[in-house]
Amino acid sequence: MKKLGVAILLVAGLTLLGCGTSSPTNINGNWTATLTGSQNFAFTTSLVTNGDGTVTISKLSFSSNSCFVSGETETGTFALSGNFNGSVTGAFGMIVHSGTPSGNVLTLTGNVKQNVITGNWTLVGGGNCNGSGTFTMNKS
């Protein structure tokens, strides 16, 4: 009986370990964001989740925003919740530092539900590069 209990615990542990390393593939891909509030603008980007909770952000392109002309650097985070049967939810964060002009920082915090990310944004910088509002990102 003792061996059966150990075997059940071992199988349960391996099952949980397998779930913990599963990657939420429906976050990976191209996204379009619309930001509204004190300023209205949009961007497109590509997201890939990493096993450590970070998000690799590439192909970031702003449409008509003079606060981010070129050379931006981006970081992102994703904390998974929900289940692994295609119903991915979780907390999302993204920070964009401007290259040219320098000194502008866009921060997005929100929640992922399936193929939509919604939340709040703040922009801190020089000149007219200050503001806040809400955003929606849709997977393309």
Dump pLDDT digits (tens) for 21-67.
Answer: 444 446 889 999 999 999 999 999 999 988 888 899 999 999 878 89
Domain ranges of the chain: 23-139
CA 131 to chain centre: 20
Record the pTM. 0.77
What confidence category does residue 87 fall into, taking pLDDT thresholds of 50, 70 and 90?
low
Q: Identify the architecture of domain 23-139 in CATH.
A: Beta Barrel (2.40)
| Distance (Å, whole) CA 61 – CA 72 | 9
- 111 has a pLDDT exceeding 50: yes
| Distance (Å, whole) CA 121 – CA 133 | 5
- Hunting for tokens 């650097």 — which residue is that? 73
Extract the tokens encoding 17.
């370990």
Among 106, 112, 99, smallest CA distance to 132 is for 106
- Long-range Cβ contact pairs of 29-32 (< 8 A, separation 24 or more): 29/139, 29/140, 30/59, 30/139, 30/140, 31/117, 31/137, 31/138, 31/139, 31/140, 32/137, 32/138, 32/140
